[in-house]
Structure 1
Amino acid sequence: MFSITVRDHIMIAHSFHGEVFGPAQRLHGATFLVDATFRREQLDEDNIVVDIGLATQELGAVVGELNYRNLDNEPDFAGVNTSTEYLAKVIADRLAEQPGRPQSRHPAPRRGRRHRGRTGDPCLRRPLLRPAAARHQQGTHGPRQPAGAAAHRGP
């Protein structure tokens, strides 16, 4: 299995509804790191998982729609608790819907032409959102990686 992860961040304001959220029921700000990972069983004929430049560009376009926004004022989020998990789902869904969705190139079946990939190939894992301040407080932030991508080959 091969994977490529691209990273960006968002800064938002929002509030929650429900006693379980305690003081976060009041308007507050949050900064999230957003990692989107693309996976393939095998590298394509160009020995890549995905066009890393396009993946970075498309993730930037998706998070740019949320950045510096008060989500309580956004119609798409009216009455919704915009938890970390919910925002990860929204970003993944929007990234998957992008017209220029980053995908590997494969020979097209029966035609012998190249195209920009097939739905679900490579597999997009749900973006991982990490509240930046929480990571820092827990001391797990480790060495800072440059914006862009990290490659990983796993089992």
Structure 2
Amino acid sequence: MSQIAVGIADFAVGAGDLTLITIGLGSCVAIALHDAECCIGGLAHILLPHPAHSAGPVPPGKVPSSAVPAMVARMRAMGSTGELRARLVGGASMFAPLLPSGAVGLGARNVQACRLACAAHEIPVTAEAVGGEVGRSVYFDVRTGRIQVRTVLSADVVL
């Protein structure tokens, strides 16, 4: 089985016997899209909730409003014809004690923006491992759709 590592503010799409991996999600959010019928999937490592929050160039994988349509387009070009489903991982509040009282952290804003981007493309979010105060890593088996979420201080979670 081959593997593709997805870096921060990037995405990848593939089919069949492939594992898409992203490591070190803190406040970032991984969006995994899957077409179970065609065994095609995509994984994005979202850095920011909106392009206006970026000082520099905004590659498609950096924000959900561009990552979701870019992944969908690439998946459809690869032959995806089935219904797409999304799963979200990450969005932790890594420095919660430093936030002013009542402030919404970057992780929570990233999660909300990812949900909205999926909804805008009529892609249901079927599972989430979001929030909290710990980082996560994602291992997405495109053939089966299985997502293994690893954290340092707790047992793995399967979505």
Q: Which has the larger radius of gyration?
A: 1
Q: Which has the higher contact order (CA 8 A, sep 6+)?
A: 1
With the length of structure 2 as denominator, give the TM-score of the two structures: 0.31
Higher strand share: 2
Q: Please report the TM-score for the alignment, with normalisation by the length of structure 1.
A: 0.32
The structure richer in helix per residue is: 1
